[in-house]
Amino acid sequence: MEITAICPPPAGRRLIVGTTVAITALVLITIVSEYVEGQTGWTQLIIDVLVGGLGCALTPTLLRRPLPTALIIVALACVSPAATPPATLAVLVVAQRRPLGDAVGVAVLGIIAHAVQGLLRPPGGLSFGWWLILDTVVHAALVAIGAWMQARTSLIASLVLRAKQAEEEQGRRIAEARAAERARIAREMHDVLAHRLSLVATYAGALEYRPDATPEKRAEAARVVRSGIQEALDELREVVTVLRDDSDDHDSRSPQPTAADLPRLIEESRSAGTEVAVHGSLVALSGLPPLSDRTAYRLIQEGLTNARRHAPGQPVTLTVSATRDDNAVIEIRNPAVESPGVLPSSGAGIIGMTERVRLAGGSLDHGLRNGEFYLRAALPRRP
C-alpha cells in the first residue's frame, strides 16, 4: 500500500518542480567536481552526463511511482556517481511512501550499487571499507527519516479524518437537537391548543346545529367560545414564552399545569357536555415528581380531548390508583363509536403522550378493549 502525501495538486506540482531542480543542481555539481579534480576522462564524463540526465529525468516519476523508479535509479548508481543524488532521494521517497520492507530492500540495493561504484571508481581520500561503512550509515539514516516522515503523514491524515468525523458528528447532533426541539414545540402546541379548541368547536357546533336554542343558551355558548379562545391564546402565549426562554428558572415565571389543576380540567369537560366519572381519588397523583406531575395532567387532558373529538356525547371514565411498586396509574376509557366526531385530528397526540410518559420514566398503553377505547399510563412516584 502506497502512502500518498496530503497536499493539493498545485502544491504537489511545486514540490515536483522544486525537487527536480534541486536534484539537477546536485548532479551538475557532482559531475563538475569529478571533472575538475581530474578523476574522469572524456568517456567517463559522457557517461556521467548521460546517467545524471537520466536520473534527473526520472526524478518527477519517482514522486508518482516510487518503487519501480527507485530500482532503476539505484541501478544507475552502479556506473556513475552522478546517479548518487537521485538514488539517495529514491531511498528517502520509498521509505516515506512505501512499507518498511520495501524501503529496507531498496536501501540494501543502494548499498550494493554504491559498493560496485566504489570498486569501479574508487573514491579519493577514503578507503573502500570506510566508504562502504559511510554509505551504509547514510542509507540507514535515509530509511529512518523516511519512516518517521511516513508515520507523521499517517498521523496527520488520521487527525484530519477525526476532525472531519467530529465535524460531521457535531452537525448530526445539531440536526437531531433541532428535530427534538421542533417535536417538543409541536407537543406543547398540541397539548395547549387541542383541549381548548375542542371545547370551542363543541360549543360552536351547538350554535350551528341548534338554531332553536334559547337566547340564554346561545349567549352561554358564545361566552364559552369567547373565553375558550382567550384562554387558548393565554396558554399559547405562556408556551411561547417558555420556549423562547433559555434560562433554568423559566418554570417559576411561566408555571405549567399540574395534577393540582385536574379538578378544573374535569369541570371544563363536564360543562362542555362530556360526562366524566372519576373512580379512585385524584389524591393518588399528589406528591409526584415535577415531570410526572405535569405528564399526568397532559395525559388526562389528551384523553378527555380525544374522547370529545372521536366519541362526542359519550361518557368518559377516569380511574386513578396506586400500585405496589409505587407507581401512579391513570386509565381513561370511553365507548368506541362507529362514526367519528367532526373535530379534526392530527394523529400526533398519542405519539406525543407516549414520548412524554417515556421521558418521565413511565409506560403507556392504549387501544380497543370490549368495545371501549382505553388509555392507560403508569407514572413513577419517585424520580
Residue 154 and residue 276 in one domain:
no
Tell whether 371 is covered by a domain: yes
Residue 157 and residue 269 in one domain:
no
Number of domains within the chain: 2
Residue 155 and residue 262 in one domain:
no
Q: What confidence score (pLDDT) does residue 331 get? A: 93
> Residue 379: which residues within 8 A CB-CB, separation 6 or more?
288, 292, 295, 296, 327, 328, 329, 330, 357, 360, 361, 362
Q: What confidence score (pLDDT) does residue 2 get? A: 44
Tell whether 45 is covered by a domain: yes
Interior/surface letters 87-110, b for 16+ CB within 10 angstroms, e for the rest = bbbbbbbbbbbbbeebbbbbbebb
Tell whether 367 is covered by a domain: yes
End position of a domain, from candidates 127, 143, 168:
168
| CATH code: domain of residue 362 | 3.30.565.10
Q: How far apart are CA 175 and CA 161, in angstroms?
A: 21
Residue 14 and residue 124 in one domain:
yes
Q: What confidence score (pLDDT) does residue 272 get? A: 75
Cell numbers representing residue 167 in the block:
465535524
Residue 14 and residue 160 in one domain:
yes
Q: What confidence score (pLDDT) does residue 12 get? A: 54
Tell whether 333 is covered by a domain: yes
End position of a domain, from candidates 168, 200, 224:
168
Tell whether 214 is covered by a domain: no
End position of a domain, from candidates 147, 168, 189:
168
Residue 30 and residue 138 in one domain:
yes
Residue 161 and residue 265 in one domain:
no
Three-state DSSP class for 6?
Answer: coil
Residue 24 and residue 149 in one domain:
yes
Residue 146 and residue 22 in one domain:
yes
Tell whether 205 is covered by a domain: no
Residue 266 and residue 158 in one domain:
no
Residue 161 and residue 21 in one domain:
yes
Q: What confidence score (pLDDT) does residue 330 get? A: 93
Backbone angles phi, psi at 50, to 5 degrees: -65, -45
Tell whether 301 is covered by a domain: yes
Residue 154 and residue 278 in one domain:
no
Residues in the chain with pLDDT < 70?
1-16, 19, 34-41, 124-125, 181-182, 184-196, 199, 203, 205-211, 213, 231-232, 234-255, 338-349, 383
Q: What confidence score (pLDDT) does residue 277 get? A: 92
The parent domain of residue 264 ranges over 258-383
Tell whether 233 is covered by a domain: no
